[in-house]
């Protein structure tokens, strides 16, 4: 984490050291090779392989129909038609094979189309598709809820409610926190993302996503997140003593920012859409104390950070802090639409029959797929793999930062790494990433961006990625950064692709 605040003049000791060049950083020992698992087919091992300039003829045909009949609301960044995927590779309709650094936005943690997930769906669908879990009991729902309790942070949570998406799970957490506290105000953070509907949208801070949908659910108070690289208070960690939490305590909650004690604090342990922002290690513990002092519930949204992505089963384990409610989604379903919350037993028990429900909650297919995916993550020890490969990836990216002035910050945990681009490492003026993303894609690397300014690359490959594939992906990434730097120097911008 940078020690410099935005626009701060360069102090003498920092001048001799380029950002990313931390001489005191421990050396990451030689990382194992981490070969691709055996189940990944040959075509996917050969990624990337570009056979035709995308969109090829087959992709074009489908895109033409799509543009006539599918809503334009989706903000698609890749002009190809996805045909199949396996492990860390995605194939388009024309046979191009891309190396994937996105996991379909942190969904395919054990690898795309994991054979155990496929088998579980096939077997389950031959027996039962709709479990009517609203009205009857279903074995896989009970077993899945038991497994989630066993792997919950500190084994402290027990009692799961299953829904159909991350946003729906956020809605459940929102309702449960109101039901439990009988209060109606909630704290959320700038840079947050909790979904596109209902409470999830109301808790999301990005203006582009909220624009023209007001009034949203009332009672949500936003406050700055611990985004140390761009501190809202122009402070420097650790000297700041986490002033951003003092501000909540001494200003927001004390000086009338609310109408009284709040129901809950909604926070992503590591902000996802906000730009893969990792707060200081004591941050979540401070929020825990703050919630306890208010008699409020602490809700961790681990939709993007969960299921070994950060090198631990849940990101909050890095911070030794247990929430009252944990929100899950994305990887939970192994690629099927599934979201859930798990809460402390006494809190979940507050809900009486009929307090909340969903037709497809506990659906037979999503339960089978999710159970198989989460079990694969456990059995294949993917948290450990993500931790080791993540350390190695951060080392490579920090080295890259010393060569590439366009990289302002590298941060992350496990294989959830953000690379923030800037026009200048000292002024930190954001550098838009679309051209670079296009160049990576043309060269066979699928990457996605995030952050308020759209200038943060997410390095979030499936956790089964090999060391060699990581290195190959970084080669492509650095070449695209280098090309963009050259265009920036001659005062123009690279055309997409």
Ligand X SMILES: Cc1ncc(COP(=O)(O)O)c(C=O)c1O
Give the residues lining the site for ligand X (CB under 6 A).
Answer: 165-167, 170, 193-195, 200, 268, 272-273, 301, 303-304, 329, 339
The region that residue 368 occupies, defined by phi over 0 for left and psi between -120 and 50 for alpha, beta otherwise, is alpha
CB-based closest residue to ligand X: 166
219 CB contacts (<8 Å, ≥6 apart)?
A: 184, 185, 186, 263
- Decide whether 372 or 460 has the Cβ nearer to ligand X: 460
- Decide whether 220 or 406 has the Cβ nearer to ligand X: 220
Nearest distance from C-beta of residue 251 to ligand X, angstroms: 26
- Decide whether 327 or 463 has the Cβ nearer to ligand X: 327
Nearest distance from C-beta of residue 200 to ligand X, angstroms: 6
- Decide whether 100 or 268 has the Cβ nearer to ligand X: 268
Nearest distance from C-beta of residue 232 to ligand X, angstroms: 20
Q: Where are the alpha helices (DSSP H) in 281-430?
A: 283-294, 345-348, 364-379, 382-403
Nearest distance from C-beta of residue 70 to ligand X, angstroms: 17
- Decide whether 304 or 321 has the Cβ nearer to ligand X: 304
Six-digit token pair at 145? 């809820």
3-state secondary structure 31-96: CCCCCCCCCCCHHHHCCCECCCCCCCHHHHHHHHHHHHHCCCCCCCCCCCCEEEEEECEEEECCCC
Nearest to 365 by CA among 141, 184, 35: 141
Distance CA 473, CA 345 (A): 43
Nearest distance from C-beta of residue 230 to ligand X, angstroms: 19
- Decide whether 54 or 303 has the Cβ nearer to ligand X: 303
Nearest distance from C-beta of residue 165 to ligand X, angstroms: 4
164 CB contacts (<8 Å, ≥6 apart)?
A: 337, 338, 339, 358, 360, 361, 363, 366
Beta bridge partners, 89, equal 86, 99
Distance CA 430, CA 229 (A): 12
């Amino acid at each position: 984490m940078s020690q410099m605040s935005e626009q701060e003049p360069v102090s003498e000791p920092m001048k001799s050291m380029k950002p990313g060049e931390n001489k005191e950083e421990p050396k990451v020992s030689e990382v194992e090779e981490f070969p691709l698992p055996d189940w990944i087919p040959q075509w996917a091992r050969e990624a990337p392989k570009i056979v035709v300039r995308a969109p090829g003829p087959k992709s074009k045909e489908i895109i033409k129909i799509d543009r006539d009949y599918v809503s334009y609301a989706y903000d698609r960044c890749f002009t190809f038609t996805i045909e199949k995927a396996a492990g860390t590779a995605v194939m388009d309709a024309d046979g191009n094979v891309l190396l994937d650094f996105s996991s379909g936005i942190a969904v395919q943690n054990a690898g795309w189309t994991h054979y155990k997930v496929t088998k579980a769906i096939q077997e389950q669908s031959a027996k039962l598709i709709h479990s009517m879990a609203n009205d009857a009991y279903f074995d896989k729902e009970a077993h899945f809820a038991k497994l989630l309790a066993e792997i919950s942070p500190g084994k402290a949570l027990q009692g799961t409610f299953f829904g159909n998406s991350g946003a729906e799970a956020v809605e459940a957490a929102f309702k449960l926190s109101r039901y439990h506290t009988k209060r109606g105000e909630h704290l959320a953070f700038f840079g947050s993302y909790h979904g596109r509907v209902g409470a999830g949208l109301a808790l999301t801070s990005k203006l582009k996503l909220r624009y023209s949908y007001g009034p949203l659910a009332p009672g949500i108070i936003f406050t700055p997140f611990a985004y140390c690289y761009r501190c809202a208070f122009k402070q420097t960690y650790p000297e700041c003593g986490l002033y951003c939490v003092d501000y909540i305590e001494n200003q927001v909650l004390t000086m009338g920012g609310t109408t009284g004690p709040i129901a809950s604090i909604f926070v992503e342990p590591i902000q996802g859409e906000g730009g893969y922002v990792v707060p200081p290690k004591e941050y979540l513990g401070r929020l825990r104390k703050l919630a306890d002092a208010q008699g409020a519930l602490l809700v961790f949204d681990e939709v993007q950070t969960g299921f070994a992505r950060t090198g631990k089963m849940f990101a909050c384990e890095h911070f030794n802090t247990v929430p009252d409610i944990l929100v899950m989604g994305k990887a939970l379903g192994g690629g099927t639409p599934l979201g859930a919350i798990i809460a402390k037993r006494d809190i979940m028990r507050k809900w009486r029959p009929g307090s909340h429900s969903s037709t497809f909650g506990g659906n037979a297919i999503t339960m089978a797929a999710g159970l198989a995916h989460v079990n694969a993550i456990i059995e294949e020890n993917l948290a450990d793999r993500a931790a080791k490969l993540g350390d190695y990836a951060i080392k490579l990216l920090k080295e890259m930062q010393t060569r590439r002035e366009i990289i302002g910050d590298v941060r992350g945990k496990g294989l959830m790494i953000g690379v923030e681009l800037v026009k200048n490492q000292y002024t930190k003026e954001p550098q838009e990433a679309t051209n670079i993303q296009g160049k990576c894609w043309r060269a066979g690397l699928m990457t996605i961006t995030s952050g308020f300014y759209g200038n943060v690359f997410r390095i979030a490959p499936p956790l089964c990625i090999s060391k060699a594939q990581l290195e190959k992906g970084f080669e492509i990434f650095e070449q695209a950064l280098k090309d963009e730097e050259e265009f920036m120097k001659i005062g123009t911008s690279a055309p997409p692709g």
